[in-house]
Structure 1
Amino acid sequence: MIENELIYVEKYCEYRLRYEGIEFCWDEKPSGDYLDTVKVLAQNYHKNIDKIAAFMVEDIREMYDESITIDDVKERIGVPKIEPEQGTVTYCEQTFDYTHIFCFEFWDDEFEDLNYFAIDG
């Protein structure tokens, strides 16, 4: 996927845009100031990656290994997929086991209010 190019992915019936190493997705073609939203979310995601990893680490330790660190989480979660309209972040390429999908909800553009971390698969 080309960075900063909005494309329609027919296989998933969604629009995608990769920006600063993050994949952004929408069910409907985004309009208006979606690029401004993408830029704010990307900046705040990267700024708060330690907090995001700390939010997930206890559940990941419980499932995989008690010795996993926040740095391990940051290194192994893979490319985040952010759905701005849904307020979700999903990791489909995590390397803890290659079969589960990690996801959580964020309730603000600052990634200060994180909720409902899940390991699905």
Structure 2
Amino acid sequence: MLRTLVLGAALVLAVCMLSGCSASPEAKKGDYIISKEGQRILVAKNISKKDSESKAIAEIKKSNIELINYIVEDSQLYNELMIGEKVHVTPKTNDKGEYVVMKSDPPQIIAGQIERLKD
């Protein structure tokens, strides 16, 4: 009886561990470029790669996903960035550590540093 109980518990534990290890990479969320225009990249925050590629901008807005237009001052970097790329953007700040958010929909912020991430 005890042997069956221990074996059952080990089996349940193994299944739980394996299911956690095989989680789909699509489920991982991040910040993705969903549009580029006029030295700006439109970034959807905390979204899955699948949703960033398959959903229209209007649909993303309706889902209450945060969208930010980052102004990219470096033309070469802007040209290298690709729609669908996962990024981490740090706003450009002044000497007090403050940055300006232009009130538009979506808001616009000048990008300070753009880190390109692997999926």
Q: Specify if TM > 0.5.
A: no
Query: As a proportion of its length, which structure holds more strand?
Result: 2
Report the TM-score, using the length of structure 2 for normalisation: 0.29
- Highest Rg: 1 or 2? 2
Higher helix share: 2
